[in-house]
Amino acid sequence: MTERTLIKDLSAREDGPVTVAGWVETVRDQKKVQFIVLRDESGAAQLVNPAVREVASGAEGTAADGTAADGTAADGTAEDAARQAAAVALTESITALSLGTFISVTGELKHDERVKLGGLEVKIGDLSVAAPSEPEAPIAADSSLDKRLDYRWLDLRQPKNALIFRVQTTLEHAWRTWWVENGFVEIHTPKLMESPSESRAELFQLDYFDLGTAYLAQSPQHFKQMAQAAGFGKVFEISPVFRADPSFTSRHATEFISVDAEMSWVDSHEDVMAMQEQLLAAGIAAVKEKHGDEIRELFGIEVEVPAIPFPRIPLAEVHTVLKESRGYTVPREDGDLDPEGERQISAYVKGEFGHDFVFVTDYPTNIRPYYHMRDAETGLTKSYDLIYNGTEITTGAQREHRIDELIANAKDKGLDPAGIGEYLEFFKYGVPPHGGFGMGLARVLMLLLGEQSIRETTLLFRGPTRLAP
């Protein structure tokens, strides 16, 4: 196989033979020269075919010094005729190219600062079509989001959209690196469950052979806690989860990637928050270092690495701040923050502390699950939500590890302990104090890049009305 050079690597090569391959982004078919803008996964470059119609027209392509337009002798020999025929074929094949066609080109690389696109171009010697494209594209730059999602593979050819997933790769790699360097174990938990995590709400059900009904996992929560009982100490997972939630907001999906971590021997949820803020700062710093310039160019924003520690405000104090400083009263009867409340507290924190993140802590038991530990003095849970640029991205907590307290909490929530018997089973044999969090990957990317919907930062979005492509 001919060695292919990525476009991003052309600038480091000396002038000479080169092979590039990608898809056709632009064709300019002029009288004396043809240009192709070729794009691959790394960038775009200009290809040129100067031996166009003059060579094809025979005498018209012969210069005063007796040479053809491509610089070869025009002596009317069979060899010259063959060259002219090849030039005709190349010219016609370029004219026939439709945008989006995948091609491979071998030619001569030449650095030329006059070329606006990268200061270089490739003179086409040979062009082969790997896969032609239909002449009319089904989407355009101004197509609606839903239409673009119908043809997501074409939408992702846009440099801005492709960058999202290179940023995602860098972010996940940085997180994994931080976890591994700090003694965490990566786990992969089942996505098929025999029983629901907490209740049957928001669960996808399916028939599972002779065992009856199975459920798609809403969260790896119970399995992360099982790893604490196994003595793993500190674990993490980046994996899909499923929510049968008929929500059409810009930040919800029926399938999404959840970023989860759990660790033993915590004293409170403060230990979990300290871990998460270090993790996020490391990930965002890696993104800024590797992609900061591209993000500035394509998204028009400056990546800000957050200072540690992040601000922390108890939920009760948040309500007071919103009312007194922002003139906003959260309308929810249960006291949980609504989306507008999240935006308002973020604006307050940005103004007061210059920070994009804020931990909202100490939630009452009525808006937290039974397995969140309750503070004996305050009666509040040792839990938090993390809000980033106006949107909640995380729920975290110290978990209740004492089985008698778990059962009492479950009953207080109106749950029958028999219904969570499988979960309670591993607490019978001892589980250390522990805590952790779950975080939505697409939400983090959306907020990091200033996008308006997780549909933009999800490779292939799944929602109540979308199962394809």
Q: How many CA atoms lie within 13 A of 417 on its CB side?
A: 12
Among 81, 97, 131, the domain boundary falls at 131
- 125 with 194, same domain? no
Task: Using pLDDT thresholds of 50, 70 and 90, give the confidence band for residue 81.
Answer: confident
The per-residue pLDDT for range 296-321, each reduced to its tens digit, is 999 999 999 999 999 999 999 999 99
Buried b (16+ CB within 10 A) or exposed e, 366-390: ebbbbbbbbeeeeebbbbbbbbbbb
d(CA 335, CA 179): 34
pLDDT of residue 247: 87
E strand intervals along 50-178: 102-111, 120-131
- 34 with 69, same domain? yes
From the list 270, 266, 293, 284, the residue with the least C-alpha distance to 178 is 284
Residue 392 marked in a binding site: yes
The answer to whether position 138 is within a domain reads no
CATH code of the domain containing 292: 3.30.930.10
Is the confidence at residue 219, as pLDDT, over 90? Answer: yes
- 96 with 159, same domain? no
Is the confidence at residue 201, as pLDDT, over 80? Answer: no
Residue 326 marked in a binding site: no
Q: Is the peptide bond before 220 cis (omega within 30 degrees of 0)?
A: no
- 74 with 217, same domain? no
The per-residue pLDDT for range 3-21, each reduced to its tens digit, is 999 999 999 999 999 999 9
- Backbone CA torsion sign across 267, 269, 272, 278: negative
Q: What sections of 182-231 are H helices per DSSP?
A: 221-229
Residue 340 marked in a binding site: no
- 64 with 159, same domain? no
Is the confidence at residue 69, as pLDDT, over 50? Answer: no
Do 206 and 213 form a contact (C-beta atoms < 8 A)? yes
The position carrying tokens 């949980």 is 336
Is the confidence at residue 141, as pLDDT, over 90? Answer: no
Structure tokens at 420: 């969570």
Residue 442 marked in a binding site: yes
Structure tokens at 99: 């945008």
Residue 243 marked in a binding site: yes
* DSSP 3-state of 265: coil
d(CA 358, CA 32): 61
d(CA 150, CA 133): 17
- 186 with 307, same domain? yes
The answer to whether position 459 is within a domain reads no
Is the confidence at residue 126, as pLDDT, over 70? Answer: yes
Is the confidence at residue 175, as pLDDT, over 90? Answer: yes
- 84 with 158, same domain? no
Task: Using pLDDT thresholds of 50, 70 and 90, give the confidence band for residue 63.
Answer: very low
Is the confidence at residue 56, as pLDDT, over 70? Answer: no
- 126 with 153, same domain? no
d(CA 140, CA 129): 23
Among 131, 159, 175, the domain boundary falls at 131
The order of strands in the sheet holding 312-314 is: 185-186, 234-242, 255-264, 434-440, 391-398, 383-388, 357-361, 312-314
- 98 with 160, same domain? no
The answer to whether position 238 is within a domain reads yes
pLDDT of residue 419: 85
In the chain, the number of structural domains is 2
The answer to whether position 156 is within a domain reads yes
Least confident window among 121-130, 190-199, 307-316, 377-386: 190-199
Say which amino acid occupies 60: E
Write out the residue range of the structural domain in which residue 119 sits: 7-131
Question: Rounded to the nearest 5°, which phi and psi values hold at 260?
Answer: -125, 145
The answer to whether position 65 is within a domain reads yes
Q: What sections of 239-338 are H helices per DSSP?
A: 269-299, 315-325
Across residues 34-56, what is the average pLDDT?
A: 87
- 175 with 273, same domain? yes
- 72 with 162, same domain? no
- 236 with 212, same domain? yes
The answer to whether position 460 is within a domain reads no
Residue 441 marked in a binding site: yes
Do 49 and 124 form a contact (C-beta atoms < 8 A)? yes
Task: Using pLDDT thresholds of 50, 70 and 90, give the confidence band for residue 53.
Answer: low
The answer to whether position 337 is within a domain reads yes
Residue 172 marked in a binding site: no
Task: Using pLDDT thresholds of 50, 70 and 90, give the confidence band for residue 200.
Answer: low
The position carrying tokens 């805590």 is 435
From the list 122, 101, 132, 113, the residue with the least C-alpha distance to 19 is 122
pTM over 0.75: yes
The answer to whether position 456 is within a domain reads no
